[in-house]
């Protein structure tokens, strides 16, 4: 085969699956969501990091956290409820214990998920991450209660959210993507607040507040009483919220909530997402993120979509 034929072969390889999020180029728009993909290293024998866009770490706090008592996960008719309670090893143990290996894994793009119960907690996590090479983006989880303000969740109050995002974005050495709480009346207001305070991207949705009771025992099925609902049951609400956020701001959106397959991913992109995240699906199939990334490529081929990025915001009204 001559050089030209080889070049043609390369061009004919298929759709361009790359997307750019806050200046970071991803090989695919499909990303593994926080809390459902461990610290990434657990998946190195399971899937190819070169075939997925990136992964988001478990939420990282300034100190290690044991999480909530069990039972803390149950299945629902169309998803799951969890009250893991943000169990994690702490940011320092992550940087020292997991980052060296993650930096060796071909194609692994690391998004570090940050949370805290005060603004200072979050700033301390960011300070530690800033000194760690190999991290591409920060995802700031705004669904945490602010213990300095009577437990009010940062992401449900525009003043708390703006203050948190402003301080974190100023300190951060990497772009900050703010993960919004969906437990609000106006997601557009929260999207505009975060963007106005310095967020360079948005992630949504996090889980919806929920509760389940066992009629036999009359007790809550989850020890924490309330829990976060995720999975296919929340998808239509999540698509609506991504659409509303995309109408409100001009920064990239990472859309998620119940994505199980490639056409679900396309739906979120048409609603306005630049990239998507897959969470609960990884519980049923640990290879789900890669399968969906591969499926999205096939979907683009079948629908003659030359650049996956052209799907973003493409809903026809
Ligand atoms: C078991 C579990 C743990 C999670 N932990 C976190 C977390 O630590 N930080 C965070 O921002 N989101 C966390 N999430 C939320 C997911 O990242 C995602 O936003 C949500 O589950 C919706 O997507 P899905 O329906 O594809 O799961 C968690 C979700 C689940 C199911």
User: Which long-range contacts link 13-18 to residues 24+ away (Cβ below 8 Å)?
Assistant: 14/297, 14/300, 14/301, 15/297, 15/300, 15/301, 15/305, 15/306, 15/307, 15/308, 16/306, 16/307, 16/308, 16/309, 17/293, 17/296, 17/297, 17/300, 17/308, 18/308, 18/309
Report which protein residue has its CA nearest ligand 1's atom 12.
34
> What is the token pair recorded at 312?
């973003």
Per-residue pLDDT of 86-114, as tens digits, reads 999 999 999 999 999 999 999 999 999 99
**Residue listed under structure tokens 């993960």:** 179
Whether 16 and 306 have beta carbons less than 8 Å apart is answered as: yes
Whether 49 and 107 have beta carbons less than 8 Å apart is answered as: yes
pLDDT given for residue 4 in this prediction: 46
For the chain, give the percent of residues with pLDDT over 70. 96
Ligand 1 contact, 235 CB (< 6 A): no
Ligand 1 contact, 155 CB (< 6 A): no
* Domain spans, the chain: 15-311
**Residue listed under structure tokens 């640990």:** 286
Report which protein residue has its CA nearest ligand 1's atom 18.
206
> What is the token pair recorded at 136?
């591409």
Task: Tell me whether residue 144 is one of the annotated catalytic residues.
Answer: yes
pLDDT given for residue 268 in this prediction: 99
What is the overall mean pLDDT for the chain?
95
For the chain, give the percent of residues with pLDDT over 90. 93
Q: How far is CA 51 from CA 2, 167, 264, in A?
A: 29, 34, 18
Atom of ligand 1 at shortest range from CA of 33 = 17
Report which protein residue has its CA nearest ligand 1's atom 21.
230
Between CA 56 and CA 110 the distance in angstroms is 6
Compute the distance from residue 302 Cα to the ligand 1 centre, in Å: 31
Strands 54-56 and 110-114: parallel
Ligand 1 contact, 282 CB (< 6 A): no
What average pLDDT score do residues 147-174 get? 95
Give the other-Cβ count within 10 Å of 108's Cβ: 20
Between CA 113 and CA 96 the distance in angstroms is 16
Q: What's 15-311's CATH class?
A: alpha beta
């Amino acid at each position: 085969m001559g050089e030209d034929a080889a070049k043609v072969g390369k061009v004919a390889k298929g759709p361009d699956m790359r997307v750019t999020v806050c200046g970071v180029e991803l090989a695919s728009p499909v990303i593994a969501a926080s809390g459902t993909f461990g610290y990434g290293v657990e998946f190195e024998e399971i899937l190819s990091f070169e075939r997925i866009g990136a992964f988001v770490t478990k939420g990282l706090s300034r100190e290690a956290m044991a999480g909530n008592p069990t039972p803390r996960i149950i299945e629902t008719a169309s998803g799951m409820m969890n009250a893991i309670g943000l169990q994690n090893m702490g940011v320092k143990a992550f940087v020292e214990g997991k980052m060296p290996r993650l930096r060796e894994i071909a194609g692994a793009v690391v998004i570090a998920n940050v949370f805290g119960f005060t603004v200072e907690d979050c700033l301390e996590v960011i300070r530690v991450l800033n000194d760690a090479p190999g991290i591409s983006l920060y995802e700031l989880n705004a669904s945490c209660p602010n213990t300095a303000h009577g437990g009010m969740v940062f992401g449900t109050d525009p003043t708390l959210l703006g203050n948190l995002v402003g301080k974190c974005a100023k300190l951060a050495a990497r772009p900050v993507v703010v993960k919004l709480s969906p437990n609000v009346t106006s997601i557009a207001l929260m999207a505009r607040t975060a963007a106005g305070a310095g967020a360079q991207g948005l992630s949504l949705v996090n889980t919806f507040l929920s509760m389940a009771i066992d009629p036999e025992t009359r007790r809550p099925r989850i020890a924490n009483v309330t829990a976060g609902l995720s999975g296919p049951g929340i998808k239509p609400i999540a698509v609506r919220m991504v659409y509303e956020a995309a109408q409100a701001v001009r920064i990239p959106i990472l859309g998620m909530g119940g994505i199980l397959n490639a056409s679900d991913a396309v739906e979120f992109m048409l609603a306005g997402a630049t990239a998507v995240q897959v969470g609960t699906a990884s519980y049923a199939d640990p290879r789900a993120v890669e399968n969906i990334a591969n499926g999205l490529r096939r979907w683009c081929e079948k629908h003659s979509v030359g650049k996956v990025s052209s799907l973003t915001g493409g809903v026809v009204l």
